[in-house]
């Protein structure tokens, strides 16, 4: 388990319970599904999204009996998208553990993910507000749209910041946003609070993903294997997109056209991204989203959960990148 | 368009409308999705499932304004499962048209299918009974479970009739059943009628799929390419499973262990399935399900829709196989 929540043992305890609920809810399915879910939840993520559901739920006016179940549903949605994502990336590992597609084959991974989607909709339709069901469905649509845009703009060296932002909205921000929102929705929080929570989640997600993409270029001359694979497949992240916009002599574009890279070329790409201000401009945008996250957080009434959300922003977004 | 409904031009007209609704409902998505859906709906299937929804809806006590939308949702669910199915089968064609995975790549096909699932859940949550949402989610779970069983029993030459029946429940019968059921659900039909409709749909589906599997072995010495591919991948259908149970000398099992087949071996497999009574026992089971479909149909009150359901059973299930 991650020690991200060590300051808040009560929250950690609830998240442990969420993990149990997730495993229990697929107990009557198929061995592949049971094991895939077990491996994923035991690999020790921070469980940010269910934590958002729990924190969001404290802003409402009514108590909610089964909010841990909703937190579990949201994490299951995340797991299902990761399983399908790994099929595409042909990822061998996920959080250091063998990925579902590598362990059970791509064929099974498609249906394990589909099963989880369907299970999520059954559970959410049975016990929660119609708005939560619709909210979660729409997140999946955004994720898919983001993935299809990402696929469509591969090798497009003039791809726009707007396209990138739409991709990471799908990849990260939309589920962060909805996680905070559905919690508040289920406890009937007022519209202002719901809007502030949804914005806070969205902005945390945007900053979080941009920072993740910055980290690939911030350590001198070291590019992670996964980033190299992205580059080989023509997937461009923000630092590269900015750098390409400033790439007057076309040097970076030429380097990126390759489908394999020597160590020297990797070094050159790295330098070109930094020299063309790609990293610096990305950092500026990440800081803007971080500031905006604090801005929307301030609109929430003072309470313990607000402090915890501030802690999350500090810890996730205030760092060297 | 298929001419399956030529006796019932009013129904054909409604199904044309359903096709339009399907295309309209993804209009605001991504080009890949718009085109994938367009290609699929224009390739001219019989639209059995939406027809079931429409027929089922006439058994209720209340009129239903937007039943065409529900029929469209059910067909979209079918389309989404076909798109994911084709990824697994690496199918090049679907109803004679290039398959989505072949045209847009496997990566896109995963997300096009996921998008459609999510769209289905959004639409059904927005406008229809909670029971319909849950019913449709559970069908997807059954389909996935069937697919995973099918994958798990590959090359298992002692796989059971029970496993086969569960696989085809997922593949065909569960969606046939739910299609008739949700129509009746939305117009508040009584429990007896809903149960008779669900059973009728299930039994039509079971007979339909068994007949389809019989057809592979009923024409002397001709095995379709798709069947051969199934055999090569270790997927066994009912005629083969029955034949293996009667395969005292292990001749058929030995033949099936290959991963490629000469024309001579194909002929030998074909003969062994027939000689070991695999085809005949399968036919008997198909006829049983057909009879049972008529039995549950008789429990419905006499009306035009009942006659049309009888027409469907006659046309789909009473034939040489």
Give pLDDT tens digits for A115-159.
999 999 999 999 999 999 999 999 999 999 999 999 889 888 888
At residue A47 the predicted structure's pLDDT band, cuts being 50, 70 and 90, is: very high
Residue B106 vs residue A274, higher pLDDT:
A274
Residue B35 vs residue B65, higher pLDDT:
B35
Write down the pLDDT at residue B220.
62
Question: Residue A250: left (phi > 0), alpha (psi -120 to 50), or beta?
Answer: left
Question: Of A46-50, B77-81, B107-111, which gets the smallest average pLDDT?
Answer: B107-111
Write down the pLDDT at residue B179.
98
Between B106, B122, B152, which is nearest A137 by CB? B122
What is the distance in angstroms between the Cα of A107 and the nearest Cα belonging to chain B? Answer: 5
Taking CB atoms and an 8 Å cutoff, what residues of chain B touch A117?
114, 117-118, 140
Question: Could you give the ipTM of this predicted complex?
Answer: 0.92
Between B111, B134, B143, which is nearest A122 by CB? B134
A110 has a chain B CB within 8 A of its CB? yes
Taking CB atoms and an 8 Å cutoff, what residues of chain A touch B105?
151
Q: Which residues lie closer than 8 Å to B148 by C-beta, 6 or more apart?
A: A30, A32, A33, A108, A111, A112, A115
Given a cut of 60, whether residue A246 has pLDDT beyond it is yes
What is the distance in angstroms between the Cα of A133 and the nearest Cα belonging to chain B? Answer: 7
A256 has a chain B CB within 8 A of its CB? no
Given a cut of 90, whether residue B302 has pLDDT beyond it is yes
Write down the pLDDT at residue B91.
66
DSSP code at position B159: -
Collapsing DSSP to helix, strand or coil, A260 comes out as coil
DSSP element (H, E) containing B98: strand B97-98
Q: Rounded to an integer, what distance in angstroms lies between the CA atom of residue B154 and that of residue B173?
A: 21
Q: Please state the rounded mean pLDDT for residues B206-211.
A: 97
Find the helix packing angle between A191-218 and A238-245, rounded to 10°: 70
Handedness of CA B252, B258, B260, B263 (dihedral sign): negative
Ordered DSSP codes for B202-235: HHHHHHHHHHHHHHHHHSTT---HHHHHHHHTT-
Q: Please state the rounded mean pLDDT for residues B145-150.
A: 92
Ordered DSSP codes for A153-170: TTT-TT--HHHHHHHHII
Write down the pLDDT at residue B107.
82
All structural domains of chain A: 1-128 (1.10.600.10), 129-321 (1.10.600.10)
Q: Rounded to an integer, what distance in angstroms lies between the CA atom of residue A97 and that of residue A105?
A: 15
Q: Please state the rounded mean pLDDT for residues A57-69.
A: 91
Between A31, A87, A118, which is nearest B110 by CB? A87
Taking CB atoms and an 8 Å cutoff, what residues of chain B touch A139?
118
What CA–CA distances, in Å, run from B86 to A99, A186, B23, B113?
Answer: 22, 38, 21, 11
Write down the pLDDT at residue B1.
53
Taking CB atoms and an 8 Å cutoff, what residues of chain A touch B121?
121, 133, 137
Write down the pLDDT at residue B13.
96
Taking CB atoms and an 8 Å cutoff, what residues of chain A touch B108?
148, 151
Residue among B85, B211, B226, B201 nearest B143 (CA): B85
| Sole residue written with tokens 């239903």 | B64
Between B125, B139, B144, which is nearest A137 by CB? B125
Taking CB atoms and an 8 Å cutoff, what residues of chain B touch A130?
125-126
Given a cut of 70, whether residue A74 has pLDDT beyond it is yes
B303 has a chain A CB within 8 A of its CB? no
Between B110, B144, B152, which is nearest A118 by CB? B144
What is the overall mean pLDDT for chain B? 92
Q: Which is it for strands A97-98 and B97-98: parallel, antiparallel or unpaired?
A: unpaired
Write down the pLDDT at residue A262.
84
What is the distance in angstroms between the Cα of A151 and the nearest Cα belonging to chain B? Answer: 7
How many C-beta atoms surround the C-beta of residue A222 within 10 A?
Answer: 12
Given a cut of 80, whether residue B287 has pLDDT beyond it is yes
What CA–CA distances, in Å, run from B187 to B113, B172, B221?
Answer: 29, 24, 49
Alpha helix segments (H runs only) across chain B: 9-25, 31-42, 48-57, 67-89, 100-127, 130-152, 161-168, 174-186, 191-218, 225-232, 238-245, 251-256, 263-275, 278-298, 304-317
B121 has a chain A CB within 8 A of its CB? yes
Given a cut of 80, whether residue B26 has pLDDT beyond it is yes
Given a cut of 70, whether residue A221 has pLDDT beyond it is no
Between A29, A32, A140, which is nearest B114 by CB? A140
Between A33, A125, A139, which is nearest B137 by CB? A125
B141 has a chain A CB within 8 A of its CB? yes
Write down the pLDDT at residue A293.
98
A125 has a chain B CB within 8 A of its CB? yes
Taking CB atoms and an 8 Å cutoff, what residues of chain B touch A34?
none
Interchain pair A84, B110: CB under 8 A: yes
Q: Mutating which of A77, A114, A175, A233 best tests the B interface, going by the most B Cβ atoms within 10 A?
A: A114
Q: Please state the rounded mean pLDDT for residues B138-142.
A: 95
At residue A229 the predicted structure's pLDDT band, cuts being 50, 70 and 90, is: confident
Interchain pair A134, B122: CB under 8 A: yes
Chain A CA closest to residue B147? A111
Given a cut of 80, whether residue B156 has pLDDT beyond it is yes
How many C-beta atoms surround the C-beta of residue B21 within 10 A?
Answer: 20
Q: Which residues lie closer than 8 Å to A18 by C-beta, 6 or more apart?
A: A47, A50, A68, A71, A72, A75
B308 has a chain A CB within 8 A of its CB? no
What is the overall mean pLDDT for chain A? 92
At residue A227 the predicted structure's pLDDT band, cuts being 50, 70 and 90, is: confident
Q: Rounded to an integer, what distance in angstroms lies between the CA atom of residue A32 and that of residue A108?
A: 8
Q: Which residues pair with B94 in a beta bridge?
A: B97
Residues B164, B241 contacting (CB under 8 angstroms): yes
What does the pLDDT look like over A161-199, one tens digit per residue? 999 999 999 999 999 999 999 999 999 999 999 999 999
Between B121, B138, B148, which is nearest A32 by CB? B148
Write down the pLDDT at residue A1.
53
B151 has a chain A CB within 8 A of its CB? yes
Write down the pLDDT at residue B225.
73
Q: Which residues lie closer than 8 Å to B249 by C-beta, 6 or more apart?
A: none
Question: Of A308-317, B109-118, B157-166, B188-197, which gets the smallest average pLDDT?
Answer: B157-166
| Sole residue written with tokens 């001359």 | A221
């Amino acid at each position: 388990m991650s020690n991200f929540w060590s300051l808040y043992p009560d929250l950690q305890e609830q998240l442990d319970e969420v993990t149990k609920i997730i495993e229990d809810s697929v107990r009557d399915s198929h061995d592949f599904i049971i094991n895939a879910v077990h491996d994923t939840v035991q690999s020790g993520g921070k469980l940010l999204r269910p934590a958002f559901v729990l924190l969001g739920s404290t802003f409402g006016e009514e108590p909610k009996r089964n909010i841990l179940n909703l937190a579990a549903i949201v994490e299951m949605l995340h797991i299902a998208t990761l399983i399908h994502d790994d099929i595409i990336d042909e990822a061998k590992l996920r959080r250091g553990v063998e990925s579902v597609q590598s362990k059970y084959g791509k064929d099974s991974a498609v249906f394990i993910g589909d099963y989880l989607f369907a299970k999520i909709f059954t559970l959410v339709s049975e016990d929660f507000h119609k708005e939560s069901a619709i909210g979660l469905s729409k997140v999946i649509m955004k994720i898919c749209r983001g993935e299809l845009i990402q696929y469509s703009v591969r090798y497009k060296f003039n791809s726009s910041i707007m396209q990138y932002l739409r991709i990471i909205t799908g990849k990260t921000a939309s589920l962060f946003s909805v996680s905070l929102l559905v919690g508040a929705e289920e406890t009937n929080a007022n519209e202002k609070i719901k809007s502030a929570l949804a914005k806070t989640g969205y902005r945390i997600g945007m900053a979080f993903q941009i920072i993740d993409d910055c980290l690939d270029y911030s350590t001198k001359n070291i590019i992670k294997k996964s980033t190299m694979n992205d580059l080989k497949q023509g997937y461009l992240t923000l630092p590269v997109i900015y750098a390409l916009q400033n790439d007057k002599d076309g040097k970076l574009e030429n380097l990126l056209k390759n489908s394999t890279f020597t160590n020297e070329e990797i070094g050159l790409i790295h330098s070109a991204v930094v020299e063309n201000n790609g990293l610096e401009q990305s950092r500026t945008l990440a800081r803007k989203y971080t500031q905006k996250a604090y801005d929307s957080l301030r609109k929430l009434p003072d309470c313990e959960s607000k402090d915890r959300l501030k802690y999350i922003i500090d810890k996730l977004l205030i760092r060297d990148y």
